[in-house]
Amino acid sequence: MITKRFTKKKEDFTCEKCGKIVKGTGYTNHCPHCLWSKHVDVNPGDRLSLCQGMMKPSRVEQVSGEKGFVIINICEKCGHVKKNRVAKEDDFDQLAAIQKRNSELKNQGN
């Protein structure tokens, strides 16, 4: 049985979506400017994914029983879904834009 293990890796990176330089904390798993991520891990922090696809922020959800929120990122290459905790340095306007887009899509479907 494979157990999920977290491997802390403090890495700085240039976002492949918006081009901004991101200073990693060891827990950084998405760009705080555009909220996009990259499919690099099989288990958190291991950098073993062969996919390497870009992961679009598709929606924001409240964590059940907590005050925090998560960004749901979906890999554009393979469809893998990953939840990333919203960090205090994340762009609030981007988070709000995702929520607004989702609300508009829901309203169109009704």
Q: Establish if 22 belongs to a structural domain.
A: yes
* Confidence (pTM): 0.84
Looking at 1-110, list the stretches that DSSP marks H as alpha helix, in order from N- to C-terminal side: 92-109
Residue pair 74/56 in contact by the 8 Å Cβ criterion: yes
User: Can you read off the two tokens belonging to residue 3?
Assistant: 């157990």
pLDDT digits (tens, 9 = 90+) for 10-27: 889 999 999 999 999 888
Q: Is 5 among the domain residues?
A: no
Q: How many domains does the chain have?
A: 1
> How far does Cα 28 stand from its chain's mean position?
9
pLDDT of 39: 97
The whole-chain average pLDDT of the chain stands at 89
Which of the four pLDDT bands, split at 50, 70 and 90, describes residue 5? confident
Give counts: helices (H), strands (E), the chain. Answer: 1, 6
Q: Which domain holds residue 36?
A: 13-109
Please give the average per-residue pLDDT across 44-57, as a whole number.
93
